[in-house]
Amino acid sequence: MSRICELTGKGRQVGNNVSHANNKTKRTFLPNLQNVTLMSEALETSVKLRVSTHGLRSVEHVGGLDNWLVKTSDDKLSLKARRLKRDIAKKLTASA
């Protein structure tokens, strides 16, 4: 399972460990991913996603999963999130 946030696309970053003697060795910085269940108000179902804590705070700030998916471009989203976005868009246009 890859260490990539399904909503923000945030993945691992590469950097250096720097010792006291200024020796540099490569290391990776992994995002803080959590398995969460988010509620979709348009679909009236819960969805399990693997989201970074930064992404989770962003979703809560925007006002929920539906608002986040509508405002986010498809290139950042995972395949599962893109399908969810498409289903939400269909539901919103059908009800409007």
Q: Render pLDDT for 6-50 as a digit per residue (tens, 0 to 9).
A: 999 999 999 999 999 999 999 999 999 999 999 999 999 999 999
What local confidence, expressed as pLDDT, does residue 95 receive?
Answer: 78
Domains of the chain: 13-95 (2.30.170.40)
What local confidence, expressed as pLDDT, does residue 1 receive?
Answer: 66
Which pTM was predicted? Answer: 0.85
Q: Is the Cβ–Cβ distance between 83 and 31 less than 8 Å?
A: no
Q: Choose among 94, 93, 92, 96: nearest CA to 41.
A: 92
